[in-house]
A and B are shown apart, each in its own frame.
Chain A
Amino acid sequence: MKTTRPAVFKPSLLAGPAIDQTGVEERTARFTKRSIKAASKMQGLLMTLSMIDLTTLEGKDSVGKVEQLCYKALHLHDAFEGLPTVAAICVYPSHVRTAKKALQDSLVKVASVATAFPAGQSSIDIKLAETRFAVAEGADEIDMVISRGKFLAGEYEYVFDEIAAIKAACGAARLKVILETGELGSLDDVRKASQLAIAAGADFIKTSTGKIQPAATLPVTLVMLETIRDHYYKTGCKVGMKPAGGISTSKLALHYLVMLNETLGADWMNPHWFRFGASSLANNVLLQIAKEKEGCYQSPNYFSVD
């Protein structure tokens, strides 16, 4: 295990290249023009399933709901052989124990949101306590939100220190840092927040909570992937990426994979370094897999709605 040095804020962390929105949009439009067919499509669909963080983040979440979702995580569609499991279940801290128990010894991870999700409007002590609680309950991964209010007010050091403190509280759990890009307003700020999060110790950077529109978009994700790439060029260290919210069709998921494939390459094309935060994507992918296997579209009624 690597010894962790406490991360220290430096204003130079904020310096990055300018981002030209028009150029970013042109580039992402090119990704959507890749035509993914036959064996590549099947491979992409299976990869998508294996990268899903199957998510339920609602006030009405209950033990019953979480247990059923965990069963779905392990048994996406038993009528088809050879399907992977999803990468993780993503729940509120209070459901971590239930999920952990339901998933038992499987490879499916339990991710917990924390730090006063989704707004992040609370004290650092409460955020730390919530993180420690989720980890103690057995969470393998923590999805924190950054303090967007502080970030937009220019209090970068505060945001940085908060991420670093949560990272320390995570222990062995991997930390995903949610930037909530829909509230940041510009791609330049997305870039800046990504750099800040990575420097403060993020294992993953994540676009959105799913509670704010717009959530993940191709342009925002590209800017984040390029930040990860620059970090890798500089240090040789990898950081993961998780677009979340709004990715509900397999076609769109394949666009994201094309973008990943052509931006970071083969080393990131696995659930360890790339995730989709989604609740309804899995079934759409299953429908497509059925179509590839059987040549025609099936009724959605054949696929469980969890």
Chain B
Amino acid sequence: MPTKKNKSTLPRLRLGAGWSYAPAPESAASARINEQYELFINGKWQKPAKRAYIDSINPATEKKLYRAAVASEQDIDKAVVSARTAFDKYWKKMPANERGKYIFRIARLLQEQARELSVMETLDGGKPIRESRDFDVPMACNHFFYYAGWADKLEFAFPNRAPRPLGVAAQITPWNFPLLMAAWKIAPALATGNTVVLKPAETTSLSTLKLASIIEEADLPPGVVNIITGAGDTGAALVRHAGINKIAFTGSTAVGKLIQQQTAATTKKLTLELGGKAANIIFSDAPIDQAVEGVVNGIFFNQGHVCCAGSRLYVQESIAPLFIQKLKDRMATLLVGDPMDKNTDIGAINSAEQLEKINYYIRLGKKEGSLHYESAVALPKKGYFCRPTLFTKVAQSSRLAQEEIFGPVLAILTFRTEDEVIEKANNSPYGLSAGVWTDKGSRIFNMSRRLKAGVVWANSYNLFDPASPFGGYKESGYGREGGVHGLLPYVSF
């Protein structure tokens, strides 16, 4: 008797089964990493007052990479005072085109040392070298180039409004794009004539410390940019400091809320770039194969450690089975492993703590009754790694569809009509970004008007340009970084 043929399974491709790619590691030797880093205050490397240091490990090997100073209140005070002095003494008096020259110089030095910076970013944070080489570092350079150009043209950015700098900007950056976020923050602050005290995340300070040495090399007047390292306490103390005029924070929504509470009833200006749970929406008329690629870039870029990651996928019901099959086949070709290998697509999860959080959500998704799928790729024995993962049969009311996971985990939901998907996509406390995939131009305009998200990508995802503003709605924060809009948070009129 013939067996009943299961029609729902499509013929399988044998992907990743034949030809495999030999290791192609980037040389770690191109980065000169010190054993210990001090604080960069007033143009000098200074030991922390309490002589406290914190270790940073390479998440791909779990080995210690370097140790960085922990700034205490005393150090922070020193940094803020030096930034204030630099503001009064040099920076606000300097002709704008001279200020621009310094920023151009930083951009060029970054470019010259791009390779070393890429290697540092990858060793310290776990992201694939392909991404730090092709995205993080060049994009950071571009931001400096872009804002260097604005320095002496501010009256054109704000016609007839006489923009003035605020003074000292306190800036706190996250661990997912350390160098790029430092560039997003420092470049517009300097271009508008402010001075800076910046604190990178404690797990990924290396590239920012390298940036400090580039700033030293660029011979900026002492105190214009101060880099202090440390963990959450350091950040909190910096936010509390009475001598700062402005706070720019990128990080979690929980910390963002605390900062907003603390700055209430002060004159400190605040911009927040916080979490997200972006909807990536696929209509049945979408360019399917390119949309699959967009979904992969949306959620697996930088191990999913992206605040604008397309982590909620909405697929129109009529194409869902084929789309999901294609997505699974594409996932089979994603190489997970040594971030220093040029062929690696997904590197190491940034920390043990983050990996545990991701695994918590994977367990939760299974418990909620969603269908779990992960690629079959072998993971390295050492280090923090996670296979690209997706869940199907996720409901709008599942926590998996509501909460930010910040890892390579995609929740897939289906929808039937345009109105339905707009309502569902907007049904989130977040509103940082969204993606729309359709061949119909009018639908793109309708969707981008009605989606409550700071960025809406059409037939693309995770594309950035220094000239384009970026920022959120709702609990994803406020204020914009990038473009002319990115100058506004650093000026008063």
| Given the contacts A232-B11, A232-B13, A23 and B342 also touching, CB distance less than 8 Å | no
| Given the contacts A20-B459, A233-B322, A265 and B287 also touching, CB distance less than 8 Å | no
Given A19-B290, A226-B289, A267-B14, 15 additional A-B pairs, CB 8 A: A18-B287, A20-B290, A20-B439, A22-B290, A24-B289, A37-B24, A40-B21, A41-B22, A229-B13, A232-B11, A234-B10, A261-B15, A266-B14, A266-B18, A269-B19
Interface residues in B1-28 (C-beta closer than 8 Å to A) = 10-11, 13-24
Size class of the B contact interface (CB-based, 8 Å): 20 to 34
Shortest C-beta distance, B122 to chain A (Å), equals 15
Shortest C-beta distance, B127 to chain A (Å), equals 15
B286 at the interface (CB under 8 A from A): yes
Chain B residues with Cβ under 8 A from A36's Cβ? 21-22, 24
Interface residues in A126-160 (C-beta closer than 8 Å to B) = none
Shortest C-beta distance, B28 to chain A (Å), equals 16
Chain A residues with Cβ under 8 A from B290's Cβ? 19-20, 22-24, 26-27
Which of chain A's residues has its CB closest to B335's CB?
Answer: A34
Shortest C-beta distance, B247 to chain A (Å), equals 36
CA distance A267 to B322 in the complex (A): 20
Shortest C-beta distance, A53 to chain B (Å), equals 20
Chain A residues with Cβ under 8 A from B291's Cβ? 23
CA distance A226 to B291 in the complex (A): 13
Chain A interfacial residues counted at CB < 8 A: 36
CA distance A233 to B9 in the complex (A): 9
0/1 per residue, B460-492, Cβ < 8 Å to A?
A: 100000000000000000000000000000000
Partner of B13, one of A18, A38, A43, A267: A267
Shortest C-beta distance, A235 to chain B (Å), equals 8
CA distance A12 to B204 in the complex (A): 55
Report whether A26 and B293 are in contact in the complex, using a CB–CB cutoff of 8 Å.
Answer: yes
Report whether A262 and B333 are in contact in the complex, using a CB–CB cutoff of 8 Å.
Answer: yes
Chain B residues with Cβ under 8 A from A226's Cβ? 289
> Which residues of B pack against A, CB within 8 Å?
10-11, 13-24, 130, 134, 285-291, 293-294, 322, 325, 333, 342-343, 439, 459-460
Chain A residues with Cβ under 8 A from B342's Cβ? 33-35
Q: 11 interchain pairs (CB within 8 A)?
A: A20-B459, A22-B459, A23-B459, A35-B21, A36-B24, A44-B19, A232-B11, A265-B14, A265-B15, A265-B17, A266-B18
A17 at the interface (CB under 8 A from B): yes
Report whether B20 and A40 are in contact in the complex, using a CB–CB cutoff of 8 Å.
Answer: yes
Chain A residues with Cβ under 8 A from B293's Cβ? 23, 26-27
Which of chain B's residues has its CB closest to A261's CB?
Answer: B19
| Given the contacts A264-B13, A267-B14, A17 and B286 also touching, CB distance less than 8 Å | yes
Which of chain B's residues has its CB closest to A16's CB?
Answer: B288
Chain A residues with Cβ under 8 A from B287's Cβ? 17-20, 23
> Which residues of A pack against B, CB within 8 Å?
17-20, 22-24, 26-27, 33-41, 43-44, 47, 226, 229, 232-236, 257, 261-262, 264-267, 269
CA distance A40 to B343 in the complex (A): 12
Report whether A261 and B13 are in contact in the complex, using a CB–CB cutoff of 8 Å.
Answer: no
* Residue of A19, A23, A24 contacting most chain B CB atoms (<10 Å): A23
Report whether B22 and A37 are in contact in the complex, using a CB–CB cutoff of 8 Å.
Answer: yes
Report whether A17 and B19 are in contact in the complex, using a CB–CB cutoff of 8 Å.
Answer: no
Report whether A35 and B13 are in contact in the complex, using a CB–CB cutoff of 8 Å.
Answer: no
Shortest C-beta distance, A170 to chain B (Å), equals 25
Shortest C-beta distance, B309 to chain A (Å), equals 18
CA distance A229 to B330 in the complex (A): 12
Which of chain B's residues has its CB closest to A223's CB?
Answer: B289
Report whether A17 and B14 are in contact in the complex, using a CB–CB cutoff of 8 Å.
Answer: no
Chain A residues with Cβ under 8 A from B439's Cβ? 18, 20
CA distance A20 to B282 in the complex (A): 14
Chain B residues with Cβ under 8 A from A22's Cβ? 290, 459-460
CA distance A41 to B24 in the complex (A): 11
- Closest CB pairs A-B (n = 8): A23-B290, A266-B18, A35-B24, A20-B287, A18-B439, A35-B342, A265-B15, A266-B17
